Each structure stands twice: as structure tokens, then as C-alpha cells.
Amino acid sequence: MTAGSQLRLGLRPNLAQFGLLVGVNALVGGVLGQERTVLPLLARDEFGLSGITVALTFIVAFGLVKAATNFFAGTLSDRFGRKPVLVAGWLVAVPVPLLLIWAPSWGWVVFANVLLGVNQGLTWSTTVIMKIDLAGPRQRGLAMGLNEAAGYLAVSVTALLTGFIAARYGLRPEPFYLGIAYVAVGLGLSVLTVRETRGHAHYEAANHGRSEGPRDDLGTREVFVEASLRDPSLSAASQAGLVNNLNDGMAWGLLPLVFAAAGLSVGRIGILAALYPAVWGLGQLVTGAWSDRVGRKPLIVAGMWIQAVAIAMIAIAGTFGAWVAAMVLLGAGTALAYPTLLAAVGDVAHPRWRASAVGVYRLWRDTGFAAGALLTGLVADLFDPRVAIWTVSLLTAVSGAVVFLRMGETRPASVVPGG
């Protein structure tokens, strides 16, 4: 489809392509999930890294590179199209599982996570942008819920599977065979079956009737300032996204070490590592569509504050059952906020520079990975891991308050034709 008259916005008229992109994003999440259970334990047991901050350098490298790549992915998608960026992201992923299998030193693992950050920034950002293009404003929350659900359910399932595989066969190489399969299938689908969606964004822009808000001709630097500082809703979303992934950086890097220090087996650590993204992923099937009906702001604020309570529960708890309850609650809070923040950015940004705005938001959001690893690692090494967890809980509560005070309701009151 190339002619504007042939294009339609919405999930139903674009169901086949939308469903394909959901599947592709599940594979993107699976590539990330291969590390969730195994890598912190690999740092401790195989490479002998005793300091928590040093052990979490792989998350710092991943987070900083992914954050920067998100920004360029949005800009490049606006300039050259979505599909070339998606395919490039999969090509970068090809050596990642092989490096994790054969790494002779920790530096090789860190380098693998630099490549993983590029892969995730290009592929996940692009699948987000493409689904926003196809869905139109009326179903934007549902589209983001489905996208993030697919990605994080795959993270969960892969974390669980790699935990079981590692418990039976060891930390390397068998758990990373899943990553090889994910990359091969994801690259093949993206090259052979995914279609370009930038024309849908141009069609929406031609029918974009909103008069208030930022103008439609912003350059890259202006979009960065708008999404980071100037626009109250966009900037509130950016800081909340950062804190969301700061939480995830803690959950990914610090919590497996905390659980192991409490005497939990690798299998049980795998269950906890999988439970949080599983609830997060499943919950987004509901929360994204819910935000289309009740608005974005209430779900984001509630989600941030529920996360703060859940993280405090993790700090207080000391048993497997209590940690199960806390991880379920953490997943539920994240599910409320995560797709809704993306939908809010899509609401405010004009279609002509929306991909760039999504890139800026995801730059700030995924800087949270590095911030979470550095903050929790330093506080844990200086004081105690539970002090680090309490610190993250407090920051999350404050972030929810910022959204409550600064963000306006962004859900569109009307839709364009075909949406």
C-alpha cells in the first residue's frame, strides 16, 4: 500500500502485519531474557567478581548503549523508514549469544552487552513505532499493551527456561542456545515478511486535526528539549520511564544476588526472575486498552506508587513466599505504567516527529538501566543491599508524585478518519 487513500489506521485493518510485529517483539524480548537469570550468577561463580558494582557493569554498558541507540533509532526511522532500522538491529544481535557462550573474560561479556544494547534499542524501538503507526490514536494504548506484553512475556519465559537449563546443565553454554534461535528467527521474519509503516504515520499527519500542543515541524534538537524539559506531560513521562527501568536494573542485577545470598537455589531464583516480567507482560494486555478508556495519568501514577510499595516489600521480606508476593505486585505496578507511558508520548507528539519523540523518551527510560545498576551497586557495596532497595523504593514514590503534579491527561478526545 502506498497511496494515502489505500491506508487505514487501526488494529483490525492492519491485523496481519500488527500480529507479525507482536511476534517479532516477542523474539526481541527473548534475546534480552536469556541473560536475566544466568548472567549475575555467571559474574559471581565463573568470573569471580565479588563487588556488586563491578558485577553489574554489564547492565551499565547495556543501559547506556540502548538509551543512546533508542534516540538514533527514532530519528533514523523518521528519516529512512522503520524496516531498515529493524533489520539492522537484528544483524547486530547475531554475535551476542556466541560471545556469551565463549567469553574468556568479563570484558567480553560487557562487549556482548554493548551489542545487545544496540540490538534492543533498534529493534524494540522500531516495533513500538511501527505499532503506533498502524494502530492510530483510538487504539494506541491497546497497541502498546500488546507490544510490551509480548516482549516482557518472552523475557519472563526465557528467564524461567534458562534458569531451569542452568540448574540442570550449568551456566554455559546451554542456556544461550535459546538466544541463537531467537536471533535467527527474528532476522528472517524482519527481512522477509515485515512491511514498512512510515506511510501510515504520514497519512495520520495529513489528517491530524489537533491545534494545541507542540507544532508539527520540530527538528531533532527541538524534539529532545520538548520531550525532556519543556512539555510538562512529555517530560513527566520521561522521568517516570527512567525510574521504571531503574527499578528493572535493580531487579535484573541486584535481586538475583540478594536471593542467592539468602540461600535460594538457582531454580527458585529463576522463578522469581521470571515472575515479575510475567505479571508485567500479562498485565499489559489489560492496562494498555484500559488507558484508552479511563485515561493515561491515573494508571501511571497508581503504577509508580504500587511499584514503590512492592520494592519496599522486597526489602522487608526474607522468605521465598514473601518475595513471590512482592514480585507479583512489582509486576502489576509496572504493567499499569509501562505501556501507558508510551501511549502518552504517542498522544502528545505530532505524527511527523513522533518517532523521534519516542526515541527521546526511550533514551531517558533506558538510561534507567544504567542508573539502577550503578545506584544499587554503589549503595549495596557501601552500605547493604537492602539499603539500596529502600533507596529505589523512595525514588519510585517521588517519581509518581512528579507525574501526579506535572502531567496532564493526554488521551485524545477525538480520532482521525480510519482510527
Could you give the domains of the chain? 11-193+218-406 (1.20.1250.20)
Across the range 140-144, mean pLDDT stands at 83
48 to each of 54, 106, 117, how far by Cα in Å? Answer: 11, 9, 24
Cβ atoms within 10 Å, residue 87: 17
Is residue 173 reached through a cis peptide bond, with omega within 30 degrees of 0 on the bond before it? Answer: yes
Output the CA torsion 402→403→409→411 (10° steps): 150
Across the range 207-213, mean pLDDT stands at 53
Q: What per-residue confidence (pLDDT) applies to 21?
A: 94
Rounded CA gap, 245 and 340, in Å? Answer: 14
N-term to C-term CA, the chain: 17
Q: What is the pLDDT of residues 153-188, one digit of tens each?
A: 898 899 889 988 998 999 999 999 999 999 999 999
Query: Confidence band (pLDDT; 50, 70, 90) for 208?
Result: low
Query: Confidence band (pLDDT; 50, 70, 90) for 215?
Result: low
Least confident of 88-92, 116-120, 284-288: 284-288
Q: Per-residue pLDDT for 366 more than 90? A: no
215 to each of 107, 226, 354, how far by Cα in Å? Answer: 45, 11, 12
Q: What per-residue confidence (pLDDT) applies to 19?
A: 93
Q: Per-residue pLDDT for 4 more than 70? A: no
Least confident of 103-117, 299-313, 358-372: 358-372
Nearest-CA neighbor of 402 among 280, 291, 313, 300?
300
Q: Per-residue pLDDT for 55 more than 60? A: yes
Q: Per-residue pLDDT for 212 more than 70? A: no
pTM given for the model: 0.79
Contact 201, 354 (CB under 8 A): yes
Q: What per-residue confidence (pLDDT) applies to 397?
A: 98
Q: Per-residue pLDDT for 223 more than 70? A: yes
Quote the crossing angle between the two packed helices 354-382 and 320-348, to the nearest 10°.
150
Residues in the chain: 419
Across the range 286-290, mean pLDDT stands at 88
Q: Per-residue pLDDT for 210 more than 60? A: no
What are the two backbone dihedrals, phi and then psi, of residue 3, each rounded to the nearest 5 degrees? -75, 140
Nearest-CA neighbor of 22 among 160, 176, 154, 184?
154
Q: Greater confidence, 5 or 395?
A: 395
Query: Confidence band (pLDDT; 50, 70, 90) for 8?
Result: confident
Query: Confidence band (pLDDT; 50, 70, 90) for 211?
Result: very low
C-alpha cell at 192: 522477509
Q: What is the mean pLDDT of the chain?
A: 88
Q: Greater confidence, 205 or 1?
A: 205
Q: What per-residue confidence (pLDDT) applies to 216?
A: 58
